[in-house]
């Protein structure tokens, strides 16, 4: 246990000493809150001219998290940098020499980064909600309404798990350019195409971002018929993340640094 605590402290020192990882978390917070507030303001101003069907399906809580798409981009970069910075600088050899138990090394790295991401993600989620609802005015909802607190908490969990998923992929690929070159198209191109084309929509809804996003919705989009609920979708996202971390661990254990 003493050895684990020392590795945890070491990983915390590594993360806070690298400015790029800290800055990406700040960008994730600012971008998510600012873009969500802007979209809520626009939605409030245009609410009177929307069709009755759209008004009935309006999700005030979900609209607050409209900036999550760009926010998760910064969180993905954070997850990749946490892992791949050591590969880029060659420090991974020193780290693995100091901590030869590679499972302990990876566990401590992901644990420290995930806890930091969790704290930032929850601040981001609650700020996005309260600022967004202020922008919505008369069309706002409150934390006490059914499903709203779950959506806010879920938004924080979603951002955190996205970061952990990126850490798992980065551990497998090692290169920051290769990891980002894989994750960015996956989330922002492939997932969108599969989710919006009728022939592949049933496949797309089982991808980690689409399944996980269900937890942030109080009112599901009209015409969206999915076979799982908010926590079921989050469970699918967790399964993807567990597979990525396990893959990273197996490759880290078997190959040279």
Q: Best-predicted range by mean pLDDT among 63-72, 155-164, 181-190?
A: 155-164
Q: Burial of 173 by CB count in 10 Å (0-12 exposed, 13-18 middle, 19+ buried)? A: buried
For the chain, the domains span 2-254
String of DSSP letters for 140-196: ---TTSTTHHHHHHHHHHHHHHHHHHHHHHHHHH--HHHHHHHHHHIIIIIHHHHHH
Classify each residue of 44-78 as buried b or exposed e, where b means 16 or more C-beta atoms within 10 Å of its C-beta. beeeeeeeeeeeeeebbbbbbbbbbbbbbbbbbbb
Query: Token pair 């069709």 is at which residue?
Result: 51
Does the predicted model carry a pTM greater than 0.85?
yes
Chain segment 108-162, per-residue pLDDT in tens: 999 999 999 999 999 999 999 999 999 998 888 999 999 999 999 999 999 999 9
Burial 138-147 (b: 16+ CB within 10 A, else e): ebbbeeeeeb
Task: Give the residue among 240, 243, 186 at the shortest CA–CA distance from 211.
Answer: 240
pLDDT tier, 222 (very low <50, low <70, confident <90, very high otherwise): low
List of residues 6+ apart from 209 with CB closer than 8 A: 72, 162, 187, 191, 237
For 253, which DSSP code?
H
Residue 244 and residue 165 in contact, taking contact as beta carbons nearer than 8 Å: yes
Question: Tell me, what DSSP letter sits at residue 58?
Answer: -
Q: Are 11 and 108 in contact (CB under 8 A)?
A: yes
Q: What is the pLDDT of residues 231-241, one digit of tens each?
A: 999 999 999 99
Q: pLDDT digit string (tens) for 191-216?
A: 888 877 877 888 888 999 999 999 99
């Amino acid at each position: 246990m003493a050895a684990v605590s020392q590795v945890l402290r070491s990983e915390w020192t590594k993360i806070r000493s690298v400015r790029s990882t800290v800055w990406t978390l700040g960008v994730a917070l600012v971008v998510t809150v600012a873009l969500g507030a802007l979209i809520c303001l626009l939605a409030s101003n245009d609410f009177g001219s929307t069709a009755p069907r759209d008004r009935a399906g309006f999700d005030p809580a979900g609209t607050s998290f409209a900036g999550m798409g760009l926010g998760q981009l910064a969180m993905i970069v954070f997850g990749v940098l946490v892992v791949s910075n050591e590969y880029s600088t060659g420090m991974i050899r020193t780290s693995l020499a100091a901590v030869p138990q590679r499972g302990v090394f990876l566990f401590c790295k992901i644990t420290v980064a995930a806890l930091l991401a969790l704290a930032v993600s929850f601040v981001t989620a609650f700020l996005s909600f309260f600022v967004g609802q202020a922008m919505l005015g008369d069309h706002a909802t409150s934390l006490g309404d059914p499903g709203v607190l779950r959506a806010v908490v879920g938004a924080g969990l979603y951002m955190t798990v996205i970061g952990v998923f990126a850490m798992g992929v980065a551990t497998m690929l090692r290169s920051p350019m290769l990891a980002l070159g894989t994750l960015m198209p996956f989330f922002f191109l492939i997932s969108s195409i599969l989710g919006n084309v009728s022939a592949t929509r049933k496949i797309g809804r089982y991808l980690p971002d689409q399944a996980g996003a269900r937890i942030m919705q109080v009112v599901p989009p009209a015409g969206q018929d999915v076979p799982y609920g908010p926590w079921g979708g989050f469970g699918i996202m967790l399964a993807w993340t567990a597979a990525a971390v396990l893959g990273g661990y197996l490759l880290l254990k078997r190959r040279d640094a």
